[in-house]
Structure 1
Amino acid sequence: MSVVIVLALIVLVLGAAGALFAAQRSRDTQRAVGHLARETRSRDTARRREAAAEEEVAPSTGKEVELATAEARRGGSDLVAAPPSAPVQWTPPDEEAMGVTRRQFMNRGIIAGFGLGIGAFAPAALAFLWPQGTSGFGSKISVGNVAELKSEIQQNAGFLYYPEGRMWITEYPASALDNARQVYSPSELAGMEAGLVALYQKCPHLGCRVPECATSQWFECPCHGSQYNRVGEKKGGPAPRGLDRFAMAVEGTTFTVDTGLIIQGPPIGTNTTGQEAEGPNCISGGEAH
């Protein structure tokens, strides 16, 4: 702290010295007077002494000459009154002739530019900081009425894709609920007990989007052949587990999916529904596990 105080004092002293030097230089410049050499001052003093001894008028010194020159340049010390003149009637200036100076134009242009920049930045910042509505992937989505969703699933051959939530919705059979309660969490069971399950579209192997297979009634990944039954439990291929799923809830008759909460799929060997392929597979090469 003491070092900082010393440095601050040094800066203040240097600043004050600089200000005094600048003021002195400015005064000398305005007066057109500088510092005379030592030889000049000695010669002026000697000449004054000689003139005083001979009772003569002392010649002007160099400094007096400079002062006289500066006074003459400023117009002299004697002011001459201007002759009286008749008053001139005032005429308002022409607005078009007045115009603006280059400095005024530049200053106004800079201020206008700053104003436009701030005016454009402020709404963007407010839009960024303003709380966004809860909709789309990463939030809770009200998918629809449970009965209507089951009807849509049946009309789409057992599968319903919901792009807003990046998920598949399929039916979960009521006959498999006892098995499900031994495997799945309450957040998953809330949807299963209503007869629905929401599955994340990405394959847990390498993240490919997994499509449905209408003939086998399974999900079959085209990238590396991983296969899952209709409720997302792994049936074959290199995937390390079943399809991930979302936390689900049923409020009254409305099916709600929290796409911000992804739950890891069931481990290999989980088969609560016992569903086998109901027809030819769309992807060959998936080995059963």
Structure 2
Amino acid sequence: MSLVIVLAIIVLVLGAAAALFATQRSRDSQRAVGFLARETKSRDTARRGGAAAPEADPAPSTGKEVELATAEARRGSSELAAAGPTAPVEWVPPDEDSRGVARRQFMNRGIIAGFGLGIGGFAPAALAFLWPQGTSGFGSKISVGKVSELKNQVGQNNGFLYYPEGRMWITEFPAASLDNARKVYSPSELAGMEAGLVALYQKCPHLGCRVPECATSQWFECGCHGSQYNRVGEKKAGPAPRGLDRFAMAIEGDTFTVNTGIIIQGPAIGTNTTGQEAEGPHCISGGAAH
């Protein structure tokens, strides 16, 4: 909701600035203020050959005073110029599109148009922000599949099943290691482990690289800086500060469900519930040296 509030404040500030600018321009257009310097008055009097006018009656200084002075002069004049005969001109009604728009009308219409454009851009953004997102993909709860089918797929993929939609690795958790796991892991993690599966976040907790599997050692081995983890994501070597992070898991009927919106930090260094050692050559050398 913070994004909606920020956008609303921006729209209100822009509207207020536009209204203030329009008001100031309207005042300036209604007030024409000007003053003649003393030297300018003296030069004008010298060119006319007369004496300088007394300072007691200064010239009108505002537009309103000029209008009043002009009206007074017209009332005091008795001579009227006679208008000569003119031929009648046929009256043609003006075109509404060519009559023009006054400055005030233009500014008012501009302000209204600006508010309309602001609201038109703000409303879709607010709706998109508040509209409920889909229930699939990373960051949501994903029904990965039936437990028995997933175990078969893990075996067919040499012990590691990658699920790109959830950015996760799925591996089997040995039933013989459950007693050790119950001492270390939370109920959200044990729910999957007790069914024989574990969902691991693909990101290395060291610097965020995507960690691949190593088919020969049967470990996860990060190619960026050499961190190594056993098949259930417990750290074995390298600079990583902990084991692989994992997601909250649940079994709904016979379906393995993973909540990728809840990331649980990996186990502490030294955790080794399965006792699995490297089963062959490492894909990354020098991991233990970091």
Q: TM-score, normalised by structure 1?
A: 0.64
**What does residue 101 of structure 1 align with?**
101
Check the 8 A contact 1:174/1:195 in 2, yes or no: yes
Relative distance call for 1:93 and 1:150 in structure 2 (3 A) is same
- Report the CA distance between 1:167 and its aligned residue: 1.6
Q: Deviations over 1:25-62 (max 9, x none)?
A: 78755442xxxxxxxxxxxxxxxxxxxxxxxxxxxxxx
Matched, 1:210 2:211: yes
Q: Give the direction of change, closer, same or farther, for the CA distance of 1:29–1:276 in structure 2 (3 Å limit).
A: same
CA contact (8 A) 1:233 1:243 kept: yes
CA distance in 1, matches of 2:67, 2:203: 83
For the aligned residue pairs, the C-alpha RMSD in angstroms reads 4.1
Per the alignment, residue 145 of structure 1 pairs with 146
CA distance in 1, matches of 2:248, 2:95: 76
Given that residues 71 and 77 in structure 1 are in contact (C-alpha distance below 8 angstroms), is that contact kept between their aligned partners in structure 2? no
Structure 1, unaligned runs of 5 or more: 1-24, 33-68, 80-87
1:26–1:197 Cα change, 3 Å: same
1:147 partner amino acid:
S
Q: Which residue of 1 aligns with 2:7?
A: none
Q: How many residues align?
A: 232
Instruction: Quote the residue 2:113 is aligned against.
Output: 112
- Summarize the Cα distance change of 1:30–1:186 in structure 2 as closer, same or farther, 3 Å threshold: same
**1:24-39 to 2 correspondence within 5 Å?**
29-32=66-69
Distance 1:112 1:287, change over 3 A: closer
Q: State the 1:255 CA deviation.
A: 1.5
Distance 1:108 1:199 in 2: 59
Q: Name the TM-score, length of structure 2 as normaliser.
A: 0.64
- Distance in 2 between residues matched to 1:206 and 1:27, nearest whole Å: 74
Give the match for residue 173 of structure 1.
174
Following TM superposition, by how much is the alpha carbon of 1:280 offset from its aligned partner in structure 2, in angstroms? 1.5
The 1:27–1:201 alpha-carbon spacing in structure 2 relative to 1, beyond 3 Å, is closer
| CA offset digits 1:198-235 (Å, max 9, x no partner) | 11222233332211001111101112222111111222
Would the aligned equivalents of 1:142 and 1:257 in 2 still touch at CA under 8 Å?
Answer: yes
* CA distance in structure 1 between the partners assigned to 2:68 and 2:78 by the alignment: 14
**Match for 2:176: what amino acid?**
S
Which residue identity is paired with 1:100?
G
Counterpart of 2:288 in 1: which secondary structure? coil
Query: Deviation of residue 171 (structure 1)?
Result: 1.1
Find the residue that maps to 1:184 and give its secondary structure. Answer: coil
Matches within 5 A, 1:267-286: 267-286=268-287
From the superposition, tell whether residues 236 and 95 of structure 1 become closer, same or farther in structure 2 (CA, over 3 Å): closer
2:239 aligns with 238
Unaligned 5+ runs, structure 2: 1-61, 81-88
8 A contact 1:240–1:268 mirrored in 2 = yes
Of 108-117 and 268-277, more deviation after overlay is shown by 108-117
